[in-house]
Amino acid sequence: MEVVKNNVQMQRWLSGLFGVSYLALGALMPFLALVLRDLGVEGLMLTAALGAVPLSRLVFGPVWSVLADRFSAPIAMVRIGATLSAIGGIALWLAPPGWWVVLAMLILAIGRAPTGPVLDSLTLRSLKDKREYGRVRRWGSVGFMVGVLGVGWLVDNTAYGPLQVVAVVSVLFLGLTLFMPSSEVAVRVEVLPALRRLVSDRFVRWMILAAAFHFAPHVGNTTFLAVHIDGLGHGAMWTGAAVAAGVIVEVLLMGMSARILGRFSAKHLLLVAMGLAIPRWALMVTLTSPWLIVALNMVHGITFGVFWLAAVALMSAKAPAEVATSGQGLLALAVGGFGSAMGVMGASWIAGTWDTTVMYQVATVSGVIALFCAVMAVRE
């Protein structure tokens, strides 16, 4: 009975941490390119600042995850990361335009790197039925939506924006992690043999490619949607509305994760979600009405929300217990590392060289490649 009570308490804390963590992400990433351009950060500096988050996940994400498994101390890793995030968030707010912005983004991004995979692993560990994962994770989507809508309103109506919000929220996240209940004791665990088994699995190798090519257009869309909508002559609130429309559907579907995963196989859900991304990006090439763009972005609830539920379930089933965090870390590496790096840097180069319409054309091709890799991953 005591174990159940502790698990429920942990799930409440994790729901709050997901919400605050993704609130910071939603407040920052959709508007960062636009705000930095207004501050005069362009060219190589802009690409470096935007690429700090995916590159940090790529380099430091696996390190954080392996350390969490190695020392059986995931909460300690989150607290250390949250401290760096708070320092980076404050520095980003106060930094003068130039390479100081890139340094601040790098510190912020290194600190954020362990958050996703470690919280995912703790959530799966606290659940008796792992299909209920979406019930906890959906609060991250809620937080992201609040961040996008709130900052969209601030940008249009006040002198404040994403840099101030992310500084405050990063400090709040640090405070929550410090008061989070924890009974873990650091114990060294041999993880190398289990890691070797995990990375040698054919599904895992193909899944890393599939997730990267699938998520790259999502991150490019999130990063440059404000630029795309601004180029069409519409206000920043339409960016918030478009992102919120997709996140609302995502939250609803994640809340039904147990029923969805109980009725449909994770493999089929994965293929459907990734297949729907192809027409999503193709239609963004031609649509100019803000109402239609908002309606189309509702598909995000499936192309990301259902994709993530299926991917987490499949990776959890593949990962040995002793490297559960590293298994989610590999998925985060594929999505937030390789995928985000391709999405941010590719979109930054394409949008800067041509325009965001070409970006969505390339995104359509990336979706086709992702679906092929997913079929190779799940085939018997």
Reply yes or no on whether the pLDDT at 21 is more than 70: yes
pTM of the model: 0.77
Reply yes or no on whether the pLDDT at 327 is more than 70: no
* pLDDT single digits (tens) 120-153: 888 887 887 878 888 888 998 889 888 878 887 8
Reply yes or no on whether the pLDDT at 374 is more than 90: yes
* pLDDT single digits (tens) 50-73: 778 777 777 777 776 677 666 667
- Buried b / exposed e across 12-37, counting CB within 10 Å, b at 16+? ebbbebbbbbbbbbbbbbbbbbbbbe
Residue 119: the pLDDT is 83
Residue 323: the pLDDT is 57
* pLDDT single digits (tens) 202-253: 888 888 889 999 999 998 898 788 889 988 988 877 887 888 889 889 989 9
Query: CATH number for the 2-378 domain, one of 3.40.50.300, 3.20.20.450, 1.20.1250.20, 2.60.40.10?
Result: 1.20.1250.20
